[in-house]
Chains A and B, each alone.
Chain A
Amino acid sequence: MKNNIRVERAIKNITQADLADQVGVSRQTINTIESNKYVPSTVLALKIARIFGKPVEEVFILEEED
């Protein structure tokens, strides 16, 4: 699974720390999600998508091997 969090963040002009605060996780978690080291739970994915005001599919994208 890949994601557009970094791009979306740039569009909204918020830092990893801001996003982390808003969804209630640590900065490390946002960082590892962005670098595809950690797959968030459904709840967290929905929360992140809600911050960006987009459906989850536009932020998180399934890949071939998933």
Chain B
Amino acid sequence: MQKILHYVQNDNLVFLTNACVLTGILRFRITKNKMSNIFDICKVCFTFGKLNFTSMKSRFLFPYKSRFIGYILIFAYFPVMIAKKIFYHGYMDHGGHITLPDNPSLLDANHIFNVIATLVVMVGLLLVGFSKEKFEDEQIIQLRLDSLQWTMYFTFFLYMLAVIFTNSIDLVHIVGINLWMLLVFFIIRFRWVIFRLNQSLKAEKGIS
């Protein structure tokens, strides 16, 4: 019984079952001679339902002002973060095993306050990272995409370093850090590029 439980807890098995179910569905659709259905689904998933990329309008961005709401949410999280650093000594005690208390205190990972605080900072990061610029044009879109690619490379590089130097032991920590790391790097890099862009305009003015 315990062995079965162990396997059920294993993510690989869950992934495999999911994959089996998925291929089952796909096969079903193919045998029904509805290949186009799959492609329709893929089209919607991969292109957000948009088939031509002729329009340079940016899609799925929050309004400009939501960025400031995002900053407020992030700063609201700072006291919690500091409190955690000072008063909370973590739950990784027994040789890397995670133990969560049955009666969680305010700063424990399974306390509703901690869950909500984490959600708040994540929503804040999302709002800051993906809000429109004051003046949204094609160059901004280009820079945003560039920054996303840079972030992907950079974090992946850090993962590789983490795997090398921690022998994959601290992967739980990496997952935890991942909650904010991608977006923080993206925001820093994107802001920096925008800042450089504005600086270049100022420099130009200084000359002429």
Which A residues form the contact surface with B (CB < 8 A)? 24-29, 31-32, 35, 37-38, 40-41, 43-44
**How does the 8 Å CB contact mask read for B182-203 relative to A, with 1 for contact and 0 for none?**
0000000000000001101100
Q: Is the CB of B139 within 8 A of A25?
A: yes
**Across the A-B interface, the 5 shortest Cβ-Cβ residue pairs:** A25-B137, A26-B135, A29-B139, A28-B197, A28-B201
Contact of B138 among A27, A31, A37, A41 (CB under 8 A): A41
Contacts across chains A and B counted by CB atoms under 8 Å: 34
Q: Which residues of A contact B201 (CB under 8 A)?
A: 27-28, 31
Residues of B within 8 A of A (CB-CB), count: 12
Q: Is the CB of B138 within 8 A of A28?
A: no
B5 touches A (CB below 8 Å): no
Closest residue of chain B to A27 (Cβ to Cβ) is: B201
Q: Is the CB of A29 within 8 A of B138?
A: yes
B82 touches A (CB below 8 Å): no
Given A41-B56, A43-B56, decide whether A31 and B204 contact each other with a Cβ distance below 8 A.
yes
Q: Is the CB of A28 within 8 A of B56?
A: no
- The smallest beta-carbon distance between B147 and chain A, in angstroms, is 15
